[in-house]
Chains A and B, each alone.
Chain A
Amino acid sequence: MNLLVTPLLPLLGSFILIVAGSRLPKRMVPLVGAGSVGLSAIATLILGYRFISNSLTSIDITAWQWMDVAGFSPAIAFHLDALSLIFIFVITFVGFLIHVYSAEYMIDDDGYARFFAYLNLFVCSMLTLVLANNLVLLYFGWEGVGLCSYLLIGFWYTEEKNGYAARKAFIVTRVGDTALGIGLFMLFQHFNTLNIQEIATQAPQHWAVGSETAMIVSLLLLGGAVGKSAQLPLQTWLPDAMAGPSPVSALIHAATMVTAGVYLIARTHAIFELAPDALMIVGIVGAATLVMAGFTALTQYDLKRVLAYSTISQIGYMFMALGVSAWSAAIFHFMIHAFFKALLFLAAGAVIHALHNEQDMYKMGGLKKKLPVIYWTFLIGASSLAALPLLTGGFYSKDQILWLSLAGEHGNIWFFLFGLLGAFITSIYTFRMLFLTFFGEEKTHVHHVPGNGINIPLLILAGLSTIGGFIELPHSFGHFTVFSDFLKPVLPSISIQEGFEGIEWMIQLIAAGVAISGVYVAYVFYILKPGLSVELKSSAADLNSFFFSGWGFDALYDKFIVRPFVWIANINKRDIVDQLYEGLVWGANALNRVLAFTQSGILRWYIMGIVIGGILLLALGIVKG
């Protein structure tokens, strides 16, 4: 099975849907849309089987030479190794499940074919991003997913605020992309190639550990990653991106695209390892983001916004793991997060659908009996997000990050404490969401119960987010490390600081205790004494509104970037540079008016002109002599 098939199938599907989508019968549209991704998933399975059974370290394939100018010769070439295999596995499988879900979810939408065309194009771009063997192709995929994200956030473009959200997402991520672009230029200047493998082997020879250039390049790459992965300070676009349909939020803004930053840093870890300070900054960004987004999620009332902030927070965990060089832990959390967050978004979408587009959690409630499948799958997803111990996938992945943030070779106590605080908040807001939505009394009538097209993907994802955790068990019990062993050829494993070897079970106990106490707090506040949360909210109204607004970042950017920019744009509306040319035009016109005045049409004036000219010439002749 050819490696090219995996990204090409969704591209083909997208092409068919764009060209002939409106003419296809409605049954055919999901068949093409979901079918192409499904086939791509099967191709991935076959590839993965061949990869593992032959114990290959990489598969390389060059489709064609893209361009070749003065030593700059990127190719359309794909490189499959353990890291990209995990990514394409998640992209195609979660992508396929979400396509299947969308087939029922979007059936009444006028843009049915358009939706699947964009979604397929997204899957193709994302696969290109993770399979690219050079950074130029990666950048191409990177921009491709950005475009699809823009198109899908603004999918219901007739509403102005959706278009605004789409533009915001596009522009804010462009800030990061510019940094990434500059980083690529610098890399090419130093290595004369953008092939990722060549850079990875050459970088340690070129740069000493801690060298300034490595630091600058790492920070530029981090800039790109921060934009795409919605981390501080470019996180403001993701909550607004929830304007898109729920399957889009699940696929693009939770499971796959927003983790592209994690992929980028893991992929270029050779450069980051040469800049320990930059790695430290990655960790700090992650730790700060995960706490910031957690507090914000606590105060939101829109179901999808809670999930959006929890996505930002969970990606913060991944960044923190990257920051302490716990590469495989970050990728492990990415995979488990993709499962449970896609599940949560799809379940939330089903709830919103069932309640006729009601997104306010305070207007939901009591859905446990009406939507049992959604409830149970949502419960599994929520437990995984809150990292409830032993049974959920999220526990194993998050626990590993917490453990390594303390005991890993670059770990420190602050990362660990931030992680714990984040875990506590995560389980509070997760179960607040669950209790508000499914418990209590019914406030909005359920219009229709979702069918199998929605239930089956939810059940599969629930299964994946549970059993997914068991492929990597901690040292203290089981010590089963298939996942990190699989990644070892690509991502170096992490060693444990001395003095920490024996206490892993203690950390796990603390993490488990924190998660469960978070659930208990949520239980007290939203089930036992519902008045308590209202009281708390009114007693700290300022803090609440500060958290609610996402720590005021939108207002800050509005004041310091958007308004000054609009002000300058207003001044420059008439184009200051153009004034010079407009002045030239004005001068020529004025001269023309003066000269046109002399052309009076009266013959005697002309003769007078000739006479004066003659006299002047004669006088000149006499004077010159």
Chain B
Amino acid sequence: MNELQISSGLLLAGALFMLGLIGVLIRRNIIFMLVCVEIMLNAAGLAFIVAGSKWAQPDGQVMFIFILTMAAAEVSVGLALILQIHHQLKTLDGDAANSMKG
């Protein structure tokens, strides 16, 4: 894989990560926030893959599988939390869950 491909791969990963991050920051609907977190995870995974192919090492792909597994677990926990929030607050607005404010 040549230089151009690496940098464009990393750029894509960075762009995805930023999109996810902005999504988390500006979205109030917590389902969308969860989806954006998934996007960020996948961006990180993509960066691993690109880096693994650069040095021709399998570690990058191993890491991606790890991230995938973790993401699955995270989503299940996250969805459970969302269900609880919806159950408690009757809304999906993330800002409504602010009863911990100081």
Contacts and interface: CB of A to CB of B under 8 A. Distances in A.
A602 B97 CA distance: 7
Nearest to B27: A604
Interface in A591-610: 595-604, 607-608
B98 A600 contact: yes
A359 to B, nearest CB: 71
Contacts, number: 35
A599 B25 contact: no
Contacts of B52: none
A597 B24 contact: no
Contact of B100 (A598, A599, A604, A611): A599
A603 B94 contact: yes
Chain A, interface size category, equals 10 to 19
Nearest to B98: A601
Contact of A602 (B21, B24, B95): B95
B99 A604 contact: no
B87 interface: no
B101 interface: yes
A599 B100 CA distance: 8
Contacts of A600: 98, 101-102
Interface string B6-40: 00000000000000010011101000010000000
Interface string A576-604: 00000000000000000001111111111
B102 A597 contact: yes
A596 B101 CA distance: 8
Contact of A603 (B21, B26, B97, B102): B97
A607 B100 contact: no
A611 B21 contact: yes
Contacts of A603: 33, 94-95, 97
Contacts of B33: 603
Interface string B37-69: 000000000000000000000000000000000
A604 B101 contact: no
A608 B25 contact: yes
B25 A607 contact: yes
Contacts of B21: 611
Nearest to B99: A601
A110 B83 CA distance: 80
Interface string B72-102: 0000000000000000000000110111111
A596 B102 CA distance: 5
B98 A602 contact: yes
A601 B25 contact: no
Interface string A234-261: 0000000000000000000000000000
Nearest to A614: B21
Contacts of B95: 602-604
A597 B102 CA distance: 7
B100 A601 contact: yes
Contacts of B25: 604, 607-608, 611
A604 B36 CA distance: 13
A601 B99 CA distance: 6
A601 B89 CA distance: 15
A602 B25 CA distance: 11
A521 B76 CA distance: 118
Contacts of A602: 94-95, 98, 101
Q: Which 6 A-B pairs have the closest CB atoms?
A: A601-B101, A601-B98, A599-B102, A596-B102, A601-B100, A602-B95
